[in-house]
Amino acid sequence: MLLCVYFGITHTPKNQLIPQCSYTGVLYVSGGLTALYIALDQGERLDWYNNGLINGLLVSGVLLLFAAFLHRRFTPNPFLDLRYLRTRNIMILGFLIVTFRMILLRSVAVLPQFLERVHQYRPQEIGNLLVLSLAPYLVTLPTTAYFMKKVHVRIILTLGFLIVGIINYFDSKTISTEIGSDFIVQQVVGSVALCMVVLAVMSGTVFEGRLSGAYKIPAGAYCQGAFFQIVRLFGSEASASLVRRFVQIREHFWHTKLVASVAANNQFSDRVSHLAGALAPQAAGPLQSADTAAGVVANSVQVQSFILAIDDTFMILSSISFISLVAVFLMKPVPLPHQLPDA
Backbone CA torsion sign across 245, 249, 252, 254: negative
What is the torsional sign of CA 119, 115, 246, 40?
Answer: positive
Please work out, in degrees rounded to the nearest 5, the angle formed at the alpha carbon of residue 310 by the alpha carbons of 307 and 316: 145
Cα separation, 314 vs 2, whole angstroms: 37
| Per-residue model confidence (pLDDT) at position 60 | 93
Cα 114 from Cα 318, distance rounded (Å): 17
Q: How confident is the model at residue 49 (pLDDT cuts 50, 70, 90)?
A: confident
Structure confidence at residue 144 (pLDDT) = 86
Distance CA 218, CA 17 (A): 8
Q: Which one has a higher pLDDT value, 216 or 275?
A: 216
Q: What is the DSSP string of 22-74?
A: --HHHHHHHHHHHHHHHHHHHTTTTTGGGSHHHHHHHHHHHHHHHHHHHHHHH
Residue 180 in this model has a pLDDT that exceeds 80 = no
Alpha helix (H) ranges present in the chain?
Answer: 2-8, 24-42, 52-74, 88-105, 111-119, 123-130, 134-147, 153-171, 184-212, 218-263, 267-279, 286-330
CA 197: distance to chain centroid?
A: 13
Residue type, 306: F
**pLDDT tens across 53-90, in order?**
999 999 999 999 999 888 888 877 777 778 888 888 88
pLDDT at 263: 63
Please give the pLDDT value at position 328. 92
Overall pTM surpassing 0.85 (yes/no): no
Task: Determine the pLDDT at residue 223.
Answer: 85
Say what the pLDDT of residue 134 is. Answer: 77
Residues 304, 339: Cα–Cα separation, whole Å: 54
pLDDT mean across residues, the chain: 82
Torsion 180-182-183-185 (CA) sign: positive
The candidate with the shortest Cα–Cα distance to 67, out of 95, 26, 39, is 26
Measured at the CA of 103, the angle between CA 206 and CA 119, to 5 degrees, comes to 145
Least reliable range by pLDDT among 32-41, 141-150, 295-304: 295-304
